[in-house]
A and B are shown apart, each in its own frame.
Chain A
């Protein structure tokens, strides 16, 4: 059956709240409003205000509360409206959530989920369009998942709930309306492994999150031109699935990384560096990157579009590399 990314997240939350008696969802407007992106629509009615908690606009406070509740034996799901606002909670996420297990000598386990929306493309201007997931992927002690498909939106959270360390789930603002087939039951599912979304022999195209649909479209376009592009959906931004990346690169010898974050110090830079360190003699060309151009996001559509990698930009870059 086809469902949307939004519906998949909603079903996933329902499953988690039903499966784990000590779980709760907390965040801004998750209850009465139904979630800024309507992900938690109707959950307040179904689960009550004990499990669906509308928080005041206090990102540090309710993220810290989630950490404390996890220390105290609960399984909190913290929703931060967008990754832009998550900056206010970075102290809690980085200075405690990521490190407290290590710093306490392994005593404290934090079965904590933090969900947030990331990415641009909706003319929301410079403060609502950032992609900071690469920063979070810098931090040891965090696991970062980025569902780019309906199937991942449906099942990643459920698997993440079994972890005993913090997992951050990055949902993309442009994916909420995509509609795809989603199996009712999964035979095999590991949210921490990358997936080949298309098998090809001419080039390895590495991406994640909101850039995946554009990369798939570019891949189809390149097929018409006679090129077979192998597309890797990273799915998990930390820890990175080196094995899948390296084996594809070693087979295809050419790489393009498409990352919605800014180029300098980006996740793409990290992946590029790992490829160079591990697959240098298998490469027939430099490792190329296509990233967000280094401007704040402007409001006008044409300017925003010129900054975040488009399908057309990906195709042009692929043609350049394969020329």
Chain B
């Protein structure tokens, strides 16, 4: 992978991180309300996968999907406006944090029901195959979703009917507060996919470059073989499950240990590992500029959201019986 691509991925991770940090700040200021699930710590997964997708490809996410939406092309303006409940939000402000939708970007949510998106993503992939459209479908879900029937039913049908879909399990080791080993009898998650005769691989979800490469292989496979593929990304959420979570279920030491594998720091190390001192200085400067640019993108978006209008209640009757 060339340095430019490596820096692009690093930048995308930082965009997600900055967006999420600002969300946390805006939540404490009560600009964002309701549930807010932050992706901080897990950025390498969405970045490594979505950065190589095309606008035409379908993505379906979970309730921790701000970053996925951003990377798939939904503007920060639309995302912040959505979380502010404004009409300029990607779902007109009706959805909020968990329900970001943008059909023009082929981003289909944003679901608050664990695993409910998996059969829907299967349907999107099924339709693309039947309609002979050249688009790929990528479905994200957490390891918690793998205890749901919807997951197993979907895996079975995907394999049975040769549906080209990429299943991306973001294994952050906790289903809300229940540790993987306390909720699953079989913690080798790829074996569940293999039991449905689906090709599967484990990936270091803190290493964006490994995520990128393994995803590239999987995407090529689903296109060529017209079969599903399952990737398990082992990752970790640095923040609480949601803003209401006192984190009684895990030790601080565990969190700190994972933080030593911060995906952004790992990527920076990877980029600079063979740099000379001079190249290093240049990179530090470039990185500052990148961060500055991201801050500008986000603060413009927040300004936009602040000034956006809310939807009138009287307009609601137009769309639902």
Contacts and interface: CB of A to CB of B under 8 A. Distances in A.
Interface of A: 22, 24, 50, 55-56, 58, 60-74, 76, 88, 91-92, 95-96, 100-108, 140-143, 238-239
Nearest to A140: B320
Contacts of B103: 104, 107-108
B92 A106 contact: yes
Contact of A65 (B93, B94, B99, B126): B126
Interface stretch (B6-14, B47-55, B105-113, B233-241): B105-113
Nearest to B87: A105
Contacts of B157: 55-56, 58, 61-62, 65
B294 interface: no
A140 B131 contact: no
A95 B111 CA distance: 9
Given A61-B153, A96-B116, A140-B320, A68 B126 contact: yes
B321 A74 contact: no
A65 B320 CA distance: 23
Q: How big is the B interface, by class?
A: 35 or more
B183 to A, nearest CB: 19
25 contacts: A22-B130, A55-B157, A56-B153, A58-B149, A58-B153, A62-B157, A65-B122, A68-B120, A68-B121, A71-B108, A71-B123, A71-B127, A73-B127, A74-B130, A91-B113, A96-B120, A102-B94, A103-B94, A104-B99, A105-B91, A107-B91, A107-B101, A108-B103, A140-B321, A141-B321
B160 A56 contact: yes
B113 A74 contact: no
A198 to B, nearest CB: 29
Nearest to A97: B120
B150 interface: yes
Interface in B50-67: 58
A71 B59 CA distance: 12
Contacts of A92: 116, 119-120
Given A71-B108, A105-B90, A56 B156 contact: yes
Interface string B60-96: 0000000000000000000000000000011111110
Nearest to A24: B130
Given A58-B157, A91-B150, A95-B113, 15 more contacts: A58-B156, A60-B149, A63-B119, A64-B118, A64-B154, A65-B123, A65-B126, A67-B123, A91-B116, A103-B99, A103-B101, A104-B91, A104-B101, A105-B101, A140-B321
A252 B178 CA distance: 61
B128 interface: yes
B319 interface: yes
Contact of A68 (B95, B123, B319): B123
Contacts of B130: 22, 24, 50, 69, 74
